[in-house]
Amino acid sequence: MRSIQLLALFVLICLGSGCQSRQTKQEAAPTEPADKEAQQIVDKAIARHGGKRFENLQIAFDFRDRHYEASRQGGIYTYTRSFTDSTGQVKDVLTNDSFTRTINGQVQKLPDERVKAFTASVNSVIYFALLPFGLNDPAVKKELIGTTTIKNTPYAKIKITFTQEGGGTDFKDEFLYFINQQTNTLDYFGYTYATEGGGIRFREAINPREIKGIRFQDYVNYAPTDSLDFWQIEQQFSAGKLKEFSRIELQNIQVKNS
């Protein structure tokens, strides 16, 4: 999804992968009636990928030479990112209501725009790593817009948008999630984004593995080679008209408890 600030994302979750950030407020409330069928499909996907284990967990993983940890207890979370660069040992800590960066143990005073960018980048990496968990955040609007077939497999096609309140800085972004009707797994998703001129991306899940009851996936990130109808993007993928843009690969995953 939001599975909630799914970056200023080009420093951000994928340094060029084009994905956007999601950080929604727990108190935000949907303003439109829920699509019950879409909700049921998303609920089954979340259950298949880990269900209630997402709500209380501690995980750690490496992504592009940076170390991430996420702790969730109900709606309370702490996300951290650690790495070393020319300034020294950097640690970012994001909670429900704060962001702190330290360098060599010293708290840094940052301008608001940097706080927003770093908040978005940390949140996005964790958000996408835990998909489809975030798709039940209060600001998420779901709509079943049909079914489709990808590689001879039937999929429910779920449109995801966000309310402005609680929907993060990129609440206008739109997503398509493709839920396998046979296995209830999230195998593909696509999204439009407006950051840095805007664009479209499509992701294919690869290398699924289950660790202590939570399903983790890597992704091949595709970009269009020409203009296309985003709402039919899976057809362009099936026709081989998308090019590989990057890969999203999580390494050294640890689930400390769930």
Out of 8-22, 75-89, 239-253, least confident range: 8-22
Question: What whole-number distance in Å separates Cα of residue 163 and Cα of residue 165?
Answer: 5
Q: Residue 147: which of 124, 127, 118, 176 has the closest Cα?
A: 176
Name beta bridge partners: 155.
148, 180
Name beta bridge partners: 99.
94
Name beta bridge partners: 254.
60
What does the mean pLDDT of the chain come to?
Answer: 86
Q: Does the pLDDT of residue 104 top 90, yes or no?
A: yes
Lookup: tokens for 208: 């699924």
Q: Does the pLDDT of residue 170 top 90, yes or no?
A: no
- Domains (ranges, CATH) in the chain? 36-257 (2.50.20)
Question: Which pLDDT value is given to residue 164?
Answer: 61
Whole-model pTM: value is 0.83
- Kindly write down the DSSP assignment for every residue of 180-225, as one continuous string: ETTT--EEEEEEEE-GGG-EEEEEEEEEEEEETTEEEEEEEEEEES
Out of 11-15, 29-33, 213-217, least confident range: 11-15
Residue pointed to by tokens 């290398």: 207
Question: Which pLDDT value is given to residue 198?
Answer: 77
Question: What whole-number distance in Å separates Cα of residue 179 and Cα of residue 132?
Answer: 10
